Chain A
Amino acid sequence: MKVLVPVKRVIDYNVKVRVKADGSGVDLANVKMSMNPFDEIAVEEAIRLKEAGKAEEVVAVSIGVKQAQETLRTALAMGADRAILVVAADDVHQDIEPLAVAKILKAVIDEEQPGLVLAGKQAIDNDMNATGQMLSALLGWSQATFASKLDIEGDHAVVTREVDGGLQTIKVTMPTIVTVDLRLNEPRYASLPNIMKAKKKPLDEKTAADYGVDVTPRLEVVKTEEPAAREAGIKVGSVDELVEKLKEAGAV
C-alpha cells in the first residue's frame, strides 16, 4: 500500500505572530516557517506503518509556494520516500484555500493511487479543519477525522477519534482519508544522517496549472486583529487561596 501525506508549510508554532499593519493578515516576511505540527504527526504515522510492514511507500505532497520544498525535505528526512511539490503561489502571504488544495490533492491521488491518505486535522495558521473532509467528498472515499489511534486491518481501518464527549472508535473501508489529532503519536526528529539522505530522495515539482486547478481565493479576509493583551496574573500562596480567588472570579 502507498500512503500519501499532504504537508503544509506554516508559521512556526514558536514564533510570536504579528499582524500586518494594514490588518490584511499575518506578517510572514522573514519569519521562520515549519511543517504544520499535525502534518508532522501524519508523516510519523505513515512512516510507522511502513516500518510495521503495512505500507510500502510514503509520498509527501505540499501545495503552496516554492519554499514549501524545505517542508518536503523535512518530511523526506523524517522518512518519507519521495515528495511532490505543487507550486500554486508566488507570494508567501497567499494562502491556498482548502477547496483548491483538496482539488489538487484529488488530481495527485488520481495519478498516485494511494490506499491511504493521512492528513493533519487542521493547519495551525488558519485552523480551517476542512481539507480532509472536502477531499473525501471529492474522491467519494470514506473518512475518519481527529484520529488518536489507527489500525489497518486488511481492507478496512479501525480509527479511534477524539470527539467532544471522549473517544469514539469507527471502522472505515479502504481506501480512506484519516485526519490526525495531537495524541496519535509523538513525531520523530529528522536526524542529521537522514537530513543528508533526504537530499538524494526524489522531489517532483508541478504547478496547480498542471492539474488544471484554479486557486483563486473564494474567501475574503475582512480583518485580522491581534488578540487582546493578557492581563498581568497574580501569585497565590496556597490551594485554599486559589479556590478562594476562583470563587471571587465566579469561575467555580
Chain B
Amino acid sequence: MRAYDRDDLLFQLFEVAQLEDQIAGTDLDREAVMGILDTADQIATDHFLPHGKLLDENDPEFVDGRAVIPDEAIAAVREQVEAGFIGSGFAPESGGMGLPETVHQAAAFIFSASNISLAGYGLLTVGAGRLIQSFGTEDQKKRYLEPMAEGRFFGTMCLSEPQAGSSLSDITTRAEPMEDGRYAISGRKMWISGGEQEISENIVHMVLAKIPGGPPGVKGISLFIVPKRNADGTPNDVTLAGLNHKMGYRGTTNCALNFGEKGACVGELLGEPHKGLSYMFQMMNEARIGVGMGATALGQAGYQASLAYARERPQGRSPAGKDPVSPQLPIIEHADIRRLLLAQKAAVEAALALSIYCTSLVDRERKGDEAAGPLLEILTPVTKSWPSEFCLEANKHAIQILGGAGYTRDYPVERYYRDNRLNHIHEGTHGIQGMDLLGRKVVMGGGAAFKGLMSTIRADIAAAADSEFAQPLSDALDRMEPVTLHLAGELMKDPTRGLANATLYLDCMGHVVMAWMWLRLTEAAKRVASRDGDTAFLRGKHQAARYFYARELVRTEGWAKTLSANDQTAFDMAADWF
C-alpha cells in the first residue's frame, strides 16, 4: 500500500493547479510528468517505504568520528539520486534538468510520504546547491554545484549554533581572511542535518559566519562554502563532534560539527561579504514550502494508514441496534471514526493544495510574473506552519483511530507523529513564523502583499459565486481584514504587545487560507464532474470541504475576537508568577 493518495496528488496537480497550462510550450507534457511521478513512486515503494521502521529503530551511530547509518538507507538514497531527483531541482545551466518546482516538489512529496528522513538528504542538497546557483561564481558552480546536480556531493545548511538558534544574529563562528582570498573558518555548529554521512563522495556545507570587524548583528553575517574534503580528497578540518538523538526523522543524521579545530578549515566566500543572511532568506521560501510539503506528506501517510485500518478493524455495533450476536462493524461505520478520518482528510488535502499553490507561485515568479513574488512572501509562513501544526493534529487522529495498536511501534502512525513534531521547530519555529507573518509580511510595503492576497482570494470567490462556500469565505475575509488592520496599528504603538498574539494570528490566517484552498478544490471537483461524470472520489472532496467550513473555519470567529481585543493575558503573566 502507498503512503500517499496518488489519485489525490494527480487531481491536485492536473485539475486544481492545472499543471498542463503551466507547462504548455515547454519540453514537458502530461505523459512525461506522469513518467517522472511513476519513477518516484517505484523508488519510493521499493526503497523508501520498507525502511521506515528500520531507520527509526537504528539511530545513526557515532563510530570513530563517523556517522554510520544502515546500508539500506545509503542504497535507497543512491537509487533516488541516480534516477535524477536531485538534479531535477537545478537549472539546466547548472547541470540540472530545470524541472518546474511544482513537479520537483510533487516528486519530493512522494518520497517524503514514503520515508521522510531519507527524503531529507536530497532536499538539503537542493537547498544548499541553489544558494550556489544563485550567488556563486562560475568557478564555484563548476567545482561544487555540478557535482551536487550529479548527486556526487551532498549539501547542508549550517546556520544554527548551540547558543544561536532562532537568533542568528548571535552566531559566533568566525571567518578570518587568508592571503589567497579564502577564509579560515572556526566555530561550532549545532543541529546540522546531514552534517556527516557516507552516502555521497563529499559534503558541501553552507556556513554562516562572521568576518571580524564587520557590523554587529545580522548585517555582519556572511555565507561560506566549506567542503568536508578539499579538491585533492584531503579532509578540510570539519569534525563530527557528536550526533543528536532525536524524537523522529532518525534516518537523517543530525550533527554537532566543529569547524577548524586544528586551524586548518578553509572556506570560500559566497557572493559578497555581510550578505549571508539575506542570501539565505532568498532561498528560504522554497525551503519552507518544502517543510510544509513534508509535514503534509506525513499527514497523508497517517491518514492513509488509519483509513486502511478503519476499513478492516471490526469493533462494536451501531448505537441503534446492539444485537450482541450480530457481527461487529468495521470501525469506519462509526460516526466518531468518520470524524477522525474526515478531520485528517480536510487538513492534509488542503495543505497539499496550498503547498502546490506555492510551488506554482515559485514557477510563476521564475517566469517573471510580478504578482507571484509578494503572494509567495506572505503565504510562505502559512505554508510552512499550518501543515506543521494541523497535519500533526491529523497524525494524532490517526493514532486515535488505531486505538491501542496506534500507540505501539508495530504500526507506523506513532512514528509519523514523532517525525512530524519536528516541523514546527526547524526552518524557523512556529512562533518565529507568526512574527514573520504579522510583523513583516503583513505590514511590508504598506500592506501590499496582504491586500494582494485578499484580492486574489476574492477573485476566486467571485468566480465561484454559486458555490456554497463563497459566502462563508467572503465573511471570513471580512473578519480578517479589520483584525489585521487593528493589529498593524497595535504593532506601531508597541511592537512587543502588538506581536504577542502573532502565533494565533498565524493559525487564524492559516485557517482562512485553507478554506480558500477548499473552495479551489471543490471548484476543480465540479469541473471534473461535469467533464467526466461524478464519482465517489469527487463527492468526498465536497464533503471534506463542508467539514472544514462547518468545524474549522468557524473557529476563526472566536480567534478573531481574541485578536481584535489583542488579549495580553499570556504576556502579562510575569515570569515570577509561574
The reply to whether chain A is a binding partner of chain B is yes
Residues of A within 8 A of B (CB): 14, 16, 30, 32, 34, 69-70, 73-74, 77, 189-193, 195-196, 198-199
Question: A70 and B34 in contact (CB under 8 A), knowing A192-B99, A196-B97?
Answer: yes
**New A-B contacts (4) at CB < 8 Å, excluding given A69-B31, A189-B79, A192-B39:** A189-B42, A189-B83, A192-B84, A192-B97
Q: Is B208 an interface residue (CB 8 A)?
A: no
Q: Do residues B45 and A14 form an inter-chain contact, with CB atoms below 8 A?
A: yes
Q: Main SS of chain B's interface residues? A: helix
A13 to chain B, nearest CB (A): 10
Question: A34 and B38 in contact (CB under 8 A), knowing A14-B2, A199-B32?
Answer: yes
Chain A neighbourhood of B88, CB < 8 A = 192
Q: Is B144 an interface residue (CB 8 A)?
A: no
Chain A neighbourhood of B99, CB < 8 A = 192
Q: Do residues A190 and B39 form an inter-chain contact, with CB atoms below 8 A?
A: yes
Encode B1-37 as 1/0 by CB contact (under 8 A) with A.
1100011000000000000000000011101101110
Q: How far is the CA of A16 from the CA of B1 in the complex (A)?
A: 8
Q: Do residues A30 and B7 form an inter-chain contact, with CB atoms below 8 A?
A: yes
B255 to chain A, nearest CB (A): 30
Q: Do residues B38 and A74 form an inter-chain contact, with CB atoms below 8 A?
A: yes
Chain A neighbourhood of B534, CB < 8 A = none
Closest to B308 in A: A16
Q: Do residues A199 and B39 form an inter-chain contact, with CB atoms below 8 A?
A: no
Chain B neighbourhood of A199, CB < 8 A = 27, 29, 31-32
Question: A196 and B43 in contact (CB under 8 A), knowing A32-B6, A73-B35, A191-B82?
Answer: no
- For B27, B31, B85, the residue with the greatest tally of chain A CB atoms inside 10 Å of its CB is B31
Q: How far is the CA of A70 from the CA of B97 in the complex (A)?
A: 21
Closest to B80 in A: A189
Q: Do residues B35 and A195 form an inter-chain contact, with CB atoms below 8 A?
A: yes
Count, A-B residue pairs, CB within 8 A: 57
Chain A neighbourhood of B29, CB < 8 A = 199
Chain A neighbourhood of B82, CB < 8 A = 191
Encode B27-67 as 1/0 by CB contact (under 8 A) with A.
11101101110110011010000000000000000000000
B541 to chain A, nearest CB (A): 14
Closest to A186 in B: B46
Q: Which of A30, A32, A190 contacts B35 (CB 8 A)?
A: A190
Q: Do residues B84 and A193 form an inter-chain contact, with CB atoms below 8 A?
A: yes
A19 to chain B, nearest CB (A): 16
A124 to chain B, nearest CB (A): 15
Q: Is B87 an interface residue (CB 8 A)?
A: yes
Q: Is B530 an interface residue (CB 8 A)?
A: no
A139 to chain B, nearest CB (A): 32
Chain A neighbourhood of B2, CB < 8 A = 14
Question: A196 and B27 in contact (CB under 8 A), knowing A30-B535, A34-B38, A190-B39?
Answer: yes
A14 to chain B, nearest CB (A): 6
Q: Do residues A195 and B32 form an inter-chain contact, with CB atoms below 8 A?
A: yes
B359 to chain A, nearest CB (A): 17
B199 to chain A, nearest CB (A): 18
Chain A neighbourhood of B7, CB < 8 A = 30
Jot down 13 A-B pairs with beta carbons below 8 A, ordered by A.
A14-B2, A14-B45, A16-B1, A70-B31, A190-B38, A191-B82, A192-B87, A192-B97, A193-B84, A193-B87, A193-B97, A195-B36, A199-B27
Q: How far is the CA of A30 from the CA of B532 in the complex (A)?
A: 11
Question: A189 and B535 in contact (CB under 8 A), knowing A73-B31, A77-B35, A196-B27?
Answer: no
Chain B neighbourhood of A195, CB < 8 A = 32, 35-36, 39
Chain A neighbourhood of B42, CB < 8 A = 189
Q: Which of B31, B34, B43, B87 contacts A189 (CB 8 A)?
A: B43
Closest to B10 in A: A32
Chain A neighbourhood of B1, CB < 8 A = 14, 16
Closest to B43 in A: A189
